[in-house]
Chains A and B, each alone.
Chain A
């Protein structure tokens, strides 16, 4: 395989904390790979290990079939876009972008041309002489990208590249990142805590928590088939129900809950699930209505509307079940307006057996 970066059982400890714990990853050439996880999950440490800013305690790092575990940063064909960009405040935009080439001792004419071309690529012509402090957040972001990409890295590392931007700029820069990746044909490894960002940008995603990789897969795989409830919850707000399997026949499991009525969930026979399980239903698959007459739903709970949130093209209902847990239902705006619900109103939460996802309660990778 043409692997760009391989991490082989890499461990890194900060003090007593295992920031990265036996992580193995294999990232393909030209891939947009995201590492998704909450803060403190060790995802930034992974980038620093690949960049050479940190050294692993154990394990090996391979870039382009070459073991680089002990190489210093300047010997790796890797560049990084830092969180908050880390632009040199005393240098102009041009000098910031030229920094890497100057350190490598490239000839002046070549540097001049490469920097100009790169500034054109990130659409910053005419701002060469500005200082970073005189630029907007989006422009600083582009300088940071240009400063890394001008060195023609095989791998570009991005640490929360869009976190400091406002919503609109973020969407714009997402498109920009994809375009840049197509044009420079480098491997992009991006660290983020925003699941929508990871889902939208990535070819593949690694979900991390507590220094361990929980799952690696395409956005579709991770969204549709999370290996554990932790991944499922992290990848999108999910409604959770813990129970025990009472019976299982013809690919249909009956799960019993302490308070709520038993539910039916489709489960494949080879899952061989037993005992404690977690059932998850995505917010957009939950049907909420004031009457129980709707057809075709296998499961139904009575509930009370707790909160109604309008978010543009949909309405998000927070409803409280009998066991005091809050479930979330996303309803398209047209449907919600046809049959509006108000806070405090008793409702019925309904969903089909095939839309539930059944996972072992104690997450174990499949």
Chain B
């Protein structure tokens, strides 16, 4: 039984705000979720509509080998994106956290500036850079390094570049927070105790930045896994990721039930990974 103490223990204004936020979440988050779940159990109608005949068939189709290919490509690209964001993000985050106050402000602003522009516009900018007669190819040919333009756009590489570009700040910011909490004295102590730079990083900075890596990893991995604008614009039709695939099921194939089942499959995967990660984190926290 739940206790009913909560009815009386909150003052009125708190109750109102709790109620309004619950209402908002219920109406705009939970209800649509239930709707999508309902649709995922329905069947596709003849002309793309929904026929309310309950079936598990959509979930069986999720395990189709073709979906598997897209799923594992997404997993691979999202994992690689997270890894590269971590590798590229750490030095940047380190400089940011150890910079003097005015520099820190300038550098943080530089990291944040891209957010002032629409994500779609920024992704289109990459199309301009990467396409056959784009900036990068013109530059390389102009410098005489290339005779023929490279086909960069609409490859896994271009999707990957776009993802790293888009989600790097989500890795950098949690890392900055984590590194700022590491007193610089600990680095001095490691040097004083005969550590080289590499070993200081390996034995002091890296383990103490773990919370930042975990938070950043989650923030980069989850949206990369479900990303759809980037693979859609930079991957073209052929290099599909789960996000683009789901979008196609809804809008192109007009198979809402299957799209809904795919969405739930993606959500399940993410929840499973998070659960695993949180489990590992709590194990690490326990004193030996």
How far is it, in angstroms, between the C-alpha of A225 and the C-alpha of B108 when the chains are bound? Answer: 55
Binary flags per residue of B39-56, CB closer than 8 Å to A gives 1, else 0: 000000000000000000
Given contacts A86-B185, A92-B288, A134-B287, A53 and B192 within 8 Å (CB-CB): yes
**Given that A89-B208, A90-B207 are contacting pairs, would A72 and B287 also be in contact in the complex, using a CB cutoff of 8 Å?**
no
Chain B positions within 8 Å of A151 at CB level: 193-194
B190 within 8 A of A: yes
Q: List B170-191 residues whose CB lies under 8 Å from chain A.
A: 183, 185-186, 188-191
CB-CB < 8 A to A74: which residues of B?
191-196
Known A-B contacts A79-B193, A103-B194, A151-B193; the reply to A86 vs B199 at CB < 8 A is no
Give the A-B contact count at a CB cut-off of 8 A.
67
CB neighbours (8 Å) of B192 from chain A are: 51-53, 73-74, 78-80, 148
- Tell me if B204 is interfacial: C-beta within 8 Å of chain A: yes
- Evaluate contact between A100 and B194: CB separation under 8 angstroms: yes
How near does chain B come to A357, taking the closest CB pair, in angstroms? Answer: 40
Chain A: CB-nearest residue to B188: A53
Give the B-binding residues of A (Cβ under 8 A).
Answer: 48, 51-53, 72-74, 78-80, 82-84, 86-90, 92, 99-100, 103-104, 129-131, 134, 147-148, 151
- Which chain A residue lies CB-closest to B284? A90
Which residues from A are CB-within-8-Å of B186?
86, 88
Interface hub of A87, A100, A134 (most chain B Cβ within 10 A): A100
Chain B minimum-CB-distance residue to A89: B208
Q: Is B189 in contact with A82, judged by CB distance below 8 angstroms? A: yes
> Once the chains bind, are B183 and A86 in contact (CB under 8 Å)?
yes
Which among B185, B190, B193 has the highest number of chain A CB atoms within 10 Å? B193
- What are 14 A-B pairs at a CB distance below 8 A? A53-B188, A73-B192, A74-B192, A74-B194, A79-B193, A80-B189, A84-B185, A88-B204, A89-B208, A92-B288, A99-B195, A103-B196, A131-B287, A151-B193
Q: Which residues of B contact A80 (CB under 8 A)?
A: 188-189, 192
| B152–chain A nearest beta-carbon distance, Å | 42
CB-CB < 8 A to A104: which residues of B?
A: 194
User: Is the pair B193, A100 in contact by a Cβ cutoff of 8 Å?
Assistant: yes
Q: Are A103 and B204 interface neighbours, CB within 8 A?
A: no
Name the CB-closest residue of A to B204: A88
Chain B residues with CB under 8 A of A84: 183, 185
Knowing A80-B189, A82-B185, say if A103 contacts B195 (CB, 8 Å).
yes
Taken residue by residue from 182 to 221, chain B's Cβ proximity to chain A (1 for < 8 Å, 0 otherwise) reads as 0101101111111110010001100110000000000000
* A90 adjacent to B193 (CB under 8 Å): no
Overall SS of chain B's interface: helix
With a cutoff of 8 Å between Cβ atoms, the chain A residues found around residue B193 in the complex are 74, 79, 99-100, 103, 147, 151
Nearest chain-A residue to B207 (Cβ)?
A: A90
Q: Which residues of B contact A129 (CB under 8 A)?
A: 288
Report the nearest A residue to B185, measured CB to CB.
A86
**Chain B hits for A92, CB < 8 A:** 288
A145 to chain B, nearest CB (A): 13
10 further interface pairs, Cβ-Cβ under 8 Å (given A86-B188, A129-B288, A151-B193): A51-B192, A73-B188, A73-B192, A74-B191, A74-B196, A79-B192, A82-B188, A82-B189, A99-B190, A148-B192
Q: Point out the residues of chain A lying under 8 angstroms from B194, CB to CB.
A: 73-74, 100, 103-104, 151
Tell which of A48, A79, A89 has the most Cβ of chain B within 10 Å. A89
Residue from B183, B185, B288 whose CB has the most chain A CB atoms within 10 Å = B185
Question: Which listed residue (B189, B190, B191, B203) contacts A72, Cβ 8 A?
Answer: B191
Interfacial chain B residues near A83, Cβ < 8 Å = 185
Nearest CB in chain B to that of A150: its residue? B193
**Which of chain B's residues has its CB closest to A76's CB?**
B192
- Kindly report which residue of chain B lies nearest to residue A147, judged by CB atoms: B193
Known: A74-B196, A100-B194, A103-B199. A88 touches B189 (CB 8 A): yes
Collect the chain A residues with CB atoms within 8 Å of residue B188's CB: 48, 51, 53, 73, 80, 82, 86
Least CB separation from A134: chain B residue:
B287
In the assembled complex, which residues on chain A have CB atoms less than 8 Å from the CB atom of B203? 88, 99
What's the Cα separation between A86 and B105 when bound, in Å?
27
- B195 → chain A, closest Cβ, in Å? 5
